[in-house]
Structures are given as structure tokens and as C-alpha cells.
Amino acid sequence: DATSFAVRVAPLGGTGLVLVLAEDQTEHRRLEAVRRDFVANISHELKTPVGALSLLAETVQDASDDPEAVRRFTERMQTEANRLTAVIQDLITLSRIQGAEPMAEPTRVDLNAVVEEALDTVRMPADAKGIELVGSGAEGVTVMGDEGLLGTALRNLISNAVAYSPKNTRVAVSVGKSSSSVDISVADQGIGIPQQDLERIFERFYRVDAARSRATGGTGLGLAIVKHIMTHHRGEVTVWSKEGSGSTFTLRLPRPETGGYDAPRNTDRQ
Ligand code: ADP
């Protein structure tokens, strides 16, 4: 992509001089392209279930004298409606965090409660696959932040771990402290992620295998949401993965007592 400039000319009142401003448009154009892709992706992600719903409605009308067919097709309509709801919900979450200022009032968050609640929300799908859920190390550990958002980030990682793991494996959530951070890791023994996809999985709507993601009810937005939540907390999310053996995602939060999150923020707002 060639560098391009926008040139603005402004007369300097009364001096007979003009001011010439050259603005680099390359970054602007790149962001514009990202935005266009995102809008195109949203349209696609919303149109697909709506198209399926409309087709299914027609089919149900045609099959009105076959109760078994009606039951089957209306069940699929429910699935498509759920998918639509999930995409819309994730889009709302994403746009809320993306537009958010750095947190004004972070509160002290008890990680043990966050981990337990996140594990509870996946207990049913995990049981159905015989996946063992284990949590460790969170007792008595706190961080500064937004409890609801940290819960969302952890839930997204744990539900992916369950969704992308075969039967009778284990998903382990462990909390550990280093001198400067609190780390929450979610390790699975699942299908893993190919090396070449690792750096893209945090992009909105990026999926390694679109069919598999849809089959598990994925929206393709879960990890983008996690990434933004961590940025919002001045932390980061990292991933280690090996195809066929599993993945470990780690949420790294600055420790308040080292000045990380609580440091004055008015000088370096981004
Ligand atoms: P999705 O709704 O598709 O799961 P995400 O943003 O949560 O969207 O994840 C993006 C993609 O990263 C997924 O489609 C999947 O291919 C891959 N992925 C995420 N978590 C895991 C995991 N624990 N194991 C294997 N692949 C994963």
C-alpha cells in the first residue's frame, strides 16, 4: 500500500503567508479498510441466520401436514434465532468495551468468585462431554478491575476450551502471581490451533475452522472481546498452543500493589 498524503493549505491571517499541512493518510486508509471489512463481516454474520430462518419458515409452511417435519424445522429455526441473538449480544459487548474510556473506578475483584462463577456457566456442556473442570490457586487473590468484564473474559476462554476439546479430557483454570502480575491460565487438552493462525485468532470474526465454530455455537467474536477487556485493564492475553495436544490462554493483569493498575492515569490515556 503506497504512502499517500492529504495536503491542506491555510492562509495565515494578514501575513500574506500560507501554511501547508501534509497529513499521512496511510494509517487512515488502513483503518478505513479494517472498518469496511468489519461492516462487511457483520452483514454476512447477520444475513446468514436470517436467510436460514426465512428458508426454514417457508419449509415449515410447505410441511404443515407433517408434524414430525414441523418439529424438526422449528427446532432448527430456534437454533438460528439463538445464533442471531449470540452475534448481536457479542457485538454490543464489543462496541461497549471498544468505546470505553480507561476504567474510572476499578474495584477490588475477588478472583476466586470470578473463577467459580465462570466454571459454573460451562458445567453443563462440560459434563455432557465428560470434560473434567478444575480450578486452583485463586483463593485469596484479588486484582483491581471490572468484575463483570473479567468474568466475561474468563467465561469466553473456558467455553472455548470446552468447545474445542474432545470427550473425557480436562480443562484447568489456574491462578498464579509473579512479582508484577496476576496470571489466570485456562489450559485444555483439545484440538489446538495451527501455528499460522495463532496471531489472527484475536481478530473479530476470525476462525480457524468456520464450520466447527458454527457447530459449537461460536460467533467468532469471543477472543476479540477478551483482547479488548484485557487492554481495558492494562493487561494482556497470550496463547500457547500445539495442534492435537491442546491450548493454554493466559490473562495477565498488573498487580495493584506494584503500582501497575492503580498508577495515576491522566498522563498516559490512550
Ligand atoms: P468462536 O466463536 O469461533 O469460538 P473466538 O473468537 O472465541 O470465536 O475464537 C476464534 C477461533 O480461535 C475459533 O473459531 C477457534 O478456531 C480458535 N480457538 C479459540 N479457542 C480455542 C481453543 N481453546 N482450542 C482450539 N481452538 C480455539
Q: What was the pLDDT predicted at 257?
A: 66
Q: Is the CB of 236 under 6 A from ligand 1?
A: no
DSSP 27: H
Query: Does any ligand 1 atom lie closer than 6 A to the CB of residue 185?
Result: no
- 86 in ligand 1 pocket by Cβ < 6 Å? no
> CB neighbours of 254 closer than 8 A, spacing ≥ 6?
180, 181, 233, 234, 235, 260, 261
Model confidence at 77, pLDDT cuts 50, 70, 90, reads very high
ipTM of the complex: 0.99
Convert the pLDDT of each residue in 112-143 to its tens digit: 999 999 999 999 999 999 999 999 999 999 99
pTM score over 0.95: no
Q: Is the model more confident about 34 or about 219?
A: 219
The per-residue pLDDT for 102 is 67
* Calpha distance 224→186 (Å, rounded): 16
Q: Which residues of 75-103 are buried (b: 16+ CB within 10 A; e: fewer)?
A: eebeebeebbebbeebbebbeebeeeeeb
| pLDDT above 50: residue 265 | no
Q: How many Å lie between the centroid of ligand 1 and the Cα of residue 198?
A: 10
The single-letter DSSP state of residue 253 is E
Please report the beta strands in 58-130, taking only residues with DSSP state E, as ranges in sequence order: 107-110
Spatial distance between the Cα atoms of 130 and 116, rounded to a whole number of angstroms = 19
Q: Which residue has the cell 469466553?
A: 156
Which of 159-163, 214-218, 229-233, 256-260 has maximum average pLDDT? 159-163
Please say if the pLDDT value at position 264 is more than 80.
Answer: no
Give the closest residue to 160 by CA, choosing from 81, 213, 87, 93.
213
For ligand 1, mutation pick of 201, 216, 239 (most atoms within 8 Å of CB):
201
